[in-house]
A = this chain, B = another copy of it.
Amino acid sequence: MDKSKVKERTIVERLTIIDIAKLSGVGVTTVSRAINNHPDINEETKAMVMRVIKENHYVPNNSARNLKRSASRTIAILIRGITNPFFNPMINVFEKEIQNKKYSFILHRVDENQNEVEVAIELVKEKRLRGIVFLGGTFSHSREKLKQLTVPFVLSTIGMTELSELKEHSYVTVDDYMESYKMVDYLCGLGHKRIAIITDPRADVNIGKLRYEGYKKALEDHGIEFDEQLVRWMKEDVESYSMINGYKVTKELLDSQLEFTAVYAIADSLAIGACKAIFEAGKRVPEDYSVAGYDGLDMSFYYNPSITTIKQPVEEMAEETIKILFDLIHKKIKHEHKIFPAELLVRESTKSLS
């Protein structure tokens, strides 16, 4: 018999709470209540039970106690695109904040083809979670589906395409439509009229749609004709929002011989990949092409040239996510919506056409 079997057996056989009940002349439930500081127990009875426990050197079943402790103190972070560096500082904050509250957390990958709500419902069953953070990716689910989620959750940095559908839930985000508009408005202001965009092909359901719509609206407001050929989709067979994806898409764009003077990528990682493709073609940034990103990764500052971007306040957003989640867990609020401002950082990778 291997060791794990021995261990299981020990746990199964150690039902000595029954002995304590007999010795105390009360029911097992009463003993449980005494041990667990339950309010529904007479103080005298409790004192008596605790005395019996002490006299008999009884150690409350650790498995059960651990179960209760760990089951009630676990948060799951469901994340799409776990290697996207955008999430790094957020995970860092989540981890610190959750540990500070003496909770533990499970980081759980959601694959491209998985429904995160179904994954969450399954996780709740398995792990008896106290709360969930949905991080990144798409989020379009029916109200009915969401109602099956019986634990508090917060949607964090998820494109809110249908805010009205989600108004009874909590979320933390930036206004992706407005912020994207801001960037393209800035590029148009530099004189660019042929601005390619690298965006998300699954544009009906996520931040890709909002950032794309902001792009179109800015062009329209500047009286610039929209050219569908300049809309470039991330490759679906390559990791999304990655440098290599931006690199491949831009290589194709350059090979197409289409005329353009600026590339707006809806993520800094894509923008860095775009720069690499431009360099490999023997061209310069920003002298030959302006390149703009989105997110405000540290890398966008350290890159050469530094990348003009929209900086999301990721640390603050992560802190707020956890604050809201614990307010929900402690029933201090019903729901909360927090939309953070982002900042246009003008750097070396973009320049005026004139």
Contacts and interface: CB of A to CB of B under 8 A. Distances in A.
Q: How large is the interface on A (under 10, 10 to 19, 20 to 34, 35 or more residues)?
A: 35 or more
Given A29-B13, A32-B13, A83-B88, A4 B72 contact: yes
Given A12-B36, A33-B12, A247 B28 contact: no
A154 to B, nearest CB: 18
A8 to B, nearest CB: 7
Contacts of A59: none
Contacts of A33: 12
A22 to B, nearest CB: 12
Interface string A49-90: 000000000000001101111111000000000110100110
Contacts of A331: 2-3
A340 to B, nearest CB: 21
Tell me if A's interface is mostly helix, strand, loop or mixed. helix
A18 interface: yes
A276 B301 CA distance: 9
Contacts of A67: 63-64, 66-67, 71
Q: How many copies of the shown chain assemble into the complex?
A: 2
Interface stretch (A101-109, A185-193, A229-237, A259-267): A101-109
B38 A12 contact: yes
Interface string A1-24: 111110011011101001000000
Interface string A257-282: 00000000000000011011001000
Interface of A: 1-5, 8-9, 11-13, 15, 18, 28-29, 32-33, 36, 38-40, 63-64, 66-72, 82-83, 85, 88-89, 91-92, 95-96, 99, 104-109, 126-128, 243-244, 247, 272-273, 275-276, 279, 298-299, 301-305, 331
Given A96-B109, A107-B107, 15 more contacts: A1-B39, A11-B68, A12-B32, A12-B33, A63-B71, A66-B128, A83-B89, A85-B85, A99-B109, A104-B108, A105-B107, A272-B302, A275-B304, A299-B299, A303-B303
